[in-house]
Amino acid sequence: MRLTVAVPSLDRVCSIALDDDATMNDLLRLASDALGHDVTSYVARVDGRNMMGEGDVGASASAGSRALRARGFASNDLVALIPPQRSFGNGNDSVRATASDGSANDANGMMKAFRSDRRTMERLRASDAEFARAIENDDVETFQRKMREMKRRESENERRREEEEALMSADPFDVEAQRKIEEAIRRGNVEENMARAMDETPEVFGQVVMLYVDAEINGVALKAFVDSGAQMSIMSVTCARRCGLERLIDDRFHGTAKGVGTQKILGRIHQAPMKVGGQFLSTAITVLEKEQDIDFIFGLDMLRRHQCSIDLRRNVLVIGSAQIELPFLGEFEIPKAFGAEGASTQRSTPSEASEPTRSPTPTLTVDEQKVGILIGLGFTRAQAIEALQITGGNVELAGAMLFG
């Protein structure tokens, strides 16, 4: 006997093969394994009929040993598994856990029950941090809002499942029905993959703290964002003004910074005193017109010039030219305005996922005459352009760098 099992509350579908003498216990156990979710206490329905029997609540009841065929199951049936109505209390004092809109009748009691289940709380922290915080902080208002949202999602999933079941019942060979079944199976695979990841590698759902180090530029303390994806070290004109460096901006080195969107480059500070780990480093800074969330970006030009390496095992930035190691800052040390997640994609629900942002990569207007000089020295056009961009358009420094 082969049955198609659907769980509307999870938006999941699977196909299960059973022996002719299989029982309800067997069905629910195999469905739990296939779905990666415990459904042994769920109620089975076929074409709207409750297939459990009087007093039969999943595998925990003795009636669960009755053969499926004796209950009226037939091969190729579509079986819907519905979670039982949860309740708190014992005996006749038990009450329905939720109201018709999904909100909890006893919010404090339900939150207490959640907190006592360590595994459930771990899943919530990974999948819905706001819901988990509401439970941990006894935030009744947020908890009830999240419960109502869950109820609306379940209702929408149930409506969609009913539509799919109606299509399958009307004509199993209908192209639209097959497309919906295929999409449901695909969603089920995605959900199963996500559930497995939550169990085995929950850390991948956490927020990644970006890499910052303490630095001083011209005596002003800054939090420097270490970004090997930024071609040049950059700061905003506001930060340059705060550091007393605005008067040193060379506007001949203007251009456009390209990343996600563009920004105008006002110019370049050819040499600025930067103090890290008690030692001074000479740095060139590209200055952008617009204010940024980040004071200063320690870019690839500085990383290369000072032979730096990012050691994530020891959580330090190694500056080879000065033989010093700078510890990366912890999340609590990074100003909230900067965003501890920096340029990373922040955790979001699947329906709210957004494109990741990146630090702008400054590029200077190419001077073809300077490019021609370097090509004449035996270098390729790509090498010439890269060297000019790294040196801010200085052809002598570019040539020295290429030869050196």
**Spatial distance between the Cα atoms of 68 and 77, rounded to a whole number of angstroms:** 11
**Average pLDDT of the residues in 377-392:** 78
Please indicate, yes or no, if residue 358 is contained in any of the structural domains: yes
**Spatial distance between the Cα atoms of 158 and 387, rounded to a whole number of angstroms:** 61
- Higher pLDDT pick, 201 / 211: 211
What's the mean per-residue pLDDT of the chain? 76
> What domain count does the chain have?
2
CATH number at residue 379: 1.10.8
Q: What is the pLDDT of residue 355?
A: 40
Please indicate, yes or no, if residue 155 is contained in any of the structural domains: no
Distance from CA of residue 186 to its chain's centroid? 20
For residues 295 and 336, membership in a common domain is answered with yes
**Spatial distance between the Cα atoms of 52 and 72, rounded to a whole number of angstroms:** 10
For residues 242 and 354, membership in a common domain is answered with yes
Please indicate, yes or no, if residue 278 is contained in any of the structural domains: yes
Please indicate, yes or no, if residue 350 is contained in any of the structural domains: yes
For residues 394 and 356, membership in a common domain is answered with no
Question: How many Cβ atoms are within 10 Å of 193's Cβ, its own excluded?
Answer: 11
Count CA within 13 A, CB hemisphere, residue 49.
9
Query: Which of 8-22, 313-327, 353-367 shows the lowest mean pLDDT across its residues?
Result: 353-367
Question: Could you report how far apart the first and last alpha carbons of the chain are, in Å?
Answer: 75
Range of the domain at 238: 212-363
CATH number at residue 339: 2.40.70.10
For residues 263 and 385, membership in a common domain is answered with no
**Average pLDDT of the residues in 66-81:** 81
Please indicate, yes or no, if residue 199 is contained in any of the structural domains: no
Does residue 88 register a pLDDT over 60?
A: no
For residues 242 and 317, membership in a common domain is answered with yes
Task: Give residue 317's pLDDT band: very low, low, confident or very high (50, 70, 90).
Answer: very high
**Spatial distance between the Cα atoms of 112 and 115, rounded to a whole number of angstroms:** 5
Task: Give residue 310's pLDDT band: very low, low, confident or very high (50, 70, 90).
Answer: very high
All residues at 6 or more sequence positions from 178 whose CB lies less than 8 Å from its CB, including other chains: none
Please indicate, yes or no, if residue 26 is contained in any of the structural domains: no
Predicted structure pTM score: 0.46
All residues at 6 or more sequence positions from 153 whose CB lies less than 8 Å from its CB, including other chains: none
- pLDDT > 90 in the chain, percent: 2
Strand pairing category for 279-288 and 78-82? unpaired
Does residue 343 register a pLDDT over 60?
A: no
Task: Give residue 318's pLDDT band: very low, low, confident or very high (50, 70, 90).
Answer: very high
Q: What is the pLDDT of residue 64?
A: 55
For residues 250 and 217, membership in a common domain is answered with yes
Residues forming the active site? 227
**Average pLDDT of the residues in 284-299:** 81
Task: Give residue 359's pLDDT band: very low, low, confident or very high (50, 70, 90).
Answer: very low
327-340: burial string, b at 16+ Cβ within 10 Å, e else = ebbeeeebeeebbb
For residues 353 and 243, membership in a common domain is answered with yes
Smallest CA-to-CA distance from 27 within 78, 72, 74, 64 is with 64
**Spatial distance between the Cα atoms of 290 and 7, rounded to a whole number of angstroms:** 51
For residues 259 and 341, membership in a common domain is answered with yes
For residues 398 and 318, membership in a common domain is answered with no
pLDDT one-digit tens code per residue, 130-153: 888 888 888 888 888 888 888 888
Task: Give residue 345's pLDDT band: very low, low, confident or very high (50, 70, 90).
Answer: very low
For residues 395 and 261, membership in a common domain is answered with no
For residues 280 and 386, membership in a common domain is answered with no
Single-letter residue type at 267: G
Please indicate, yes or no, if residue 297 is contained in any of the structural domains: yes
Please indicate, yes or no, if residue 263 is contained in any of the structural domains: yes
- Higher pLDDT pick, 205 / 369: 369
Question: What's the per-residue H, E or C state across the chain?
Answer: CEEEEEECCCCEEEEEECCCCCEHHHHHHHHHHHHCCCCCCCEEEECCEECCCCCCCHHHCHHHHCEHHHHCCCCCCEEEEECCCCEECCHHHCEECECCCCCECCHHHHHHHHHCCHHHHHHHHHHCHHHHHHHHCCCHHHHHHHHHHHHHHHHHHHHHHHHHHHHHHHCCCCHHHHHHHHHHHHHHHHHHHHHHHHHHCHHHHCCCCCCEEEEEECCEEEEEEECCCCCCCEEEHHHHHHCCCHHHCEHHHCEEEEECEEEEEEEEEEEEEEEECCEEEEEEEEEECCCCCCCEEECHHHHHHCCEEEECCCCEEEECCCCEEEECCCHHHCCCCCCCCCCCCCCCCHHHCCCCCCCCEEEECCCHHHHHHHHHCCCCHHHHHHHHHHCCCCHHHHHHHHHC
For residues 216 and 359, membership in a common domain is answered with yes
